[in-house]
Amino acid sequence: MNRIAAMACAGMSFGCLDPDVLYEVEICGTVTSADVGPVELWFLHNEWGNDSLETHYMIIDTLWLDEATTFSQVLQVPQGTGTGMSVYGWQDRNEDEEHCRPGTAPELSGLVDVEDYPAHLVEIDVTLDTPCEGPEGL
Amino acid sequence: MISLAILLWVASAFAGADPWVSAAPGQVRVGLHSGFPWHGADVIYAPRGPVAVTGHVETARFQRTEVRAGVQRPWVVSPKWSVLTVATVGGVHQEGEVSRQGPQVGAVFMVTRLGRVEPFFSLHDRELFSLQSVQTLTRVGEETQWTAARYSSRGGSLGMRVPIQTQWCLNVAIQAGSVDSAFAIPSLLLGMSWRSKE
């Protein structure tokens, strides 16, 4: 397959692109919360894109946990314009799969910057202690 | 959109001359167009008979380049109407946040109202067979894989050709549809064509 693809690519008059590069990271840790309920984790680039496309906190992957507990996830992190890594979590206290929908009780959230990234194995602790905030507000 | 269609219909009421939709036997037609986001050039040559060979180069803001070669055939269905069918093969090279490359095949179906000005409507389908290498950096080393995917670019154009001399023609068109299976903002094209004497 690789040879066929490479030959087909080389056969084109305008050459081949550089490969898409993925950086594999095994990220594990513990989520702590004073509340109960499922937790959703967002694995994020701190910054992504150039010029007018530049944005904060671009999602790389997500993970649902049954409760605030330990976790382990292998990420394939696209390399390119993305820099840094953070993990955001929020707790779905009322299990409606919405974070702080109007008229419902506050739900906790938290954000941690993965300072050891880039590394293939990192460990973090995420504390959910701020009600109703997105990554930008934390 | 409706007002433009009405304008084209009114414009088409003028009596006809030779159609700009294709090249006559032995004739060469060269065109340039520019707009947002597409710029391009095309050449059409009919060695003999109604079937012509075509070449197209187009670029979208110099980030995506498409090169196509093909054959086309006009079908004059009445003194006022012509249908053009085109089949192409070529390639795509796109850089940037979303990169693409690979061979592409396409087809165009165009209806032209013949006259002193030529309103036209076309539909196109281009299928890109994308080949992309993915390099994964792991704890134990690097691993490279090739992935293949098919992307469809389908859409239509509405425009008008306005001959300004025997050998020169002004073209204007709007184009809408999808690029690589995703919605694309409509594009506006302004072009000029030249053809050799018959």
Q: How far does A18 lie from chain B, in Å, by closest CA?
A: 8
Q: Does any domain span residue A50?
A: yes
Chain A contact set for B131 (CB, 8 A): 5, 8-9
Domain map (residue ranges) of chain B? 2-195
Q: Give per-residue pLDDT as tens, A12-54.
A: 545 577 888 999 999 999 999 999 999 999 999 999 888 877 8
The residues, any chain, with a CB within 8 Å of residue A21's CB and separated by 6 or more, are A78, A79, A80, B134, B135, B136, B137
Greater confidence (A129 vs B18) lies with A129
Q: Does any domain span residue A15?
A: no
Which one-letter amino acid corresponds to residue A5?
A: A
Which residue ranges of chain B lie beneath pLDDT 70? 1-19, 21
Mean pLDDT, range A93-113, rounded to an integer:
93
Q: Does A82 touch chain B (CB under 8 A)?
A: no
- What domain count does chain A have? 1
Domain CATH for A37: 2.60.40.2580
Give the residue from chain B lying closest to A24, CA to CA: B138
Q: How far does B99 lie from chain A, in Å, by closest CA?
A: 8
| pLDDT number for residue A2 | 55
Interface size A-B, in CB pairs within 8 Å, comes to 71
Query: Model-level pTM?
Result: 0.70
For residue A4, the SS3 value is: helix
ipTM above 0.85, yes or no: no
Which of 1.10.3470, 3.90.550, 2.20.28, 2.40.160 is the CATH number of B2-195? 2.40.160
Q: Does any domain span residue A110?
A: yes
**Cα–Cα dist A119/A29, whole Å:** 15
Q: Does any domain span residue A12?
A: no
Nearest to A120 among B138, B145, B146 (CB): B138
| pLDDT number for residue B122 | 96
Q: Does any domain span residue A77?
A: yes
Q: Does any domain span residue A3?
A: no
| pLDDT number for residue A4 | 54
| pLDDT number for residue B86 | 96
Cβ distance A32 to A128 under 8 Å?
Answer: yes
- Domain residues for the domain of A107 are 20-137
Cβ distance B119 to B9 under 8 Å?
Answer: yes
| pLDDT number for residue B8 | 39
Tokens 């507990």 belong to residue = A69
Tell which B residues from 51 to 70 touch A, by Cβ distance under 8 Å: 65, 67
Q: Does any domain span residue A9?
A: no
Q: Does any domain span residue A4?
A: no
| pLDDT number for residue A7 | 53
CA dihedral B90, B93, B99, B100 (to 10 degrees): 10
| pLDDT number for residue B10 | 37
Is residue A10 pLDDT above 60, yes or no?
no
Q: Does A2 touch chain B (CB under 8 A)?
A: yes
**Cα–Cα dist A27/A120, whole Å:** 8
Nearest to A19 among B91, B95, B133 (CB): B133
Cα distances from B44 to residues A1, A70, B30, B180, in angstroms, run: 37, 66, 6, 26
Q: Which candidate, B2, B3, B21, B1, places its Cα nearest to that of B117?
A: B21
Q: Give per-residue pLDDT as tens, A46-81.
A: 998 888 778 899 999 999 999 999 999 999 999 888
